Amino acid sequence: MRKLTYFIACSIDGFIGDPSGDASAMYPFVDEEFLEYLKTEYPETIATHGRRALGVDDLPNRRFDTIIQGRASYDLALKEGITSPYAHLREFVASRTLTESPDPNVEIVSEDLVGRVRELKAEDSAYDIYLCGGARIAGELAGEIDEMVIKSYPIVLGAGMPMFAAEFPMMQFALESVRSFGNGAVVRTYTRKR
């Protein structure tokens, strides 16, 4: 069975964005060293337009072939006129308000998100599923998350959007690896204890 991996950036105090969801305070930490790490270990997590700008559009997927994101995350791309921000992956957008997909590569999931994710996890594939965010769908899918890759940046926001916006029973994860960077960023990988 495939894993659902919540691959997310956050501040030291656990916020994935400010109170409005804006995560731009974290962008300066994606420096040359950190970008090289992403290109080597998680190239598919770089949006298609970013891959083109960096000249790495031909990098093969290493971990994921499918992405799930919430409407707010997807809207960031739509505001820029990008209808398929991860064209190198199968794209799913969880939304109860977006009735029709603006792109043939993007499937809108408006009902039973957990059921749809379970179907995706049951597919026969060598690749896992990338949960991009945001906080509401991470909360809704908390029981399905098998792995978390948390990119922590050395800032404290004080308030903002948490990693999970929902209540659910406590879950335990085992720390698998830690990677630190010269700019103070740390990437921690956790596997869910079952």
3-state SS, residue 75: helix
pLDDT tens profile 6-26: 999 999 999 999 998 889 999
Domains parsed from the chain with CATH numbers: 4-192 (3.40.430.10)
Cα–Cα distance, 3 to 145 (Å, whole number)? 7
**What pTM was estimated for this model as a whole?**
0.96
3-state secondary structure of 188: strand
Task: Provide mean pLDDT across the span 117-140.
Answer: 95
Task: Write down the residue that tokens 């080597």 correspond to.
Answer: 40
Q: Is the pLDDT of residue 133 over 90?
A: no
pLDDT digits (tens, 9 = 90+) for 96-123: 999 899 999 999 999 999 999 999 999 9
Exposure pattern of 51-63 as b/e (b: 16+ CB <10 Å)? beeeeeeebebeb
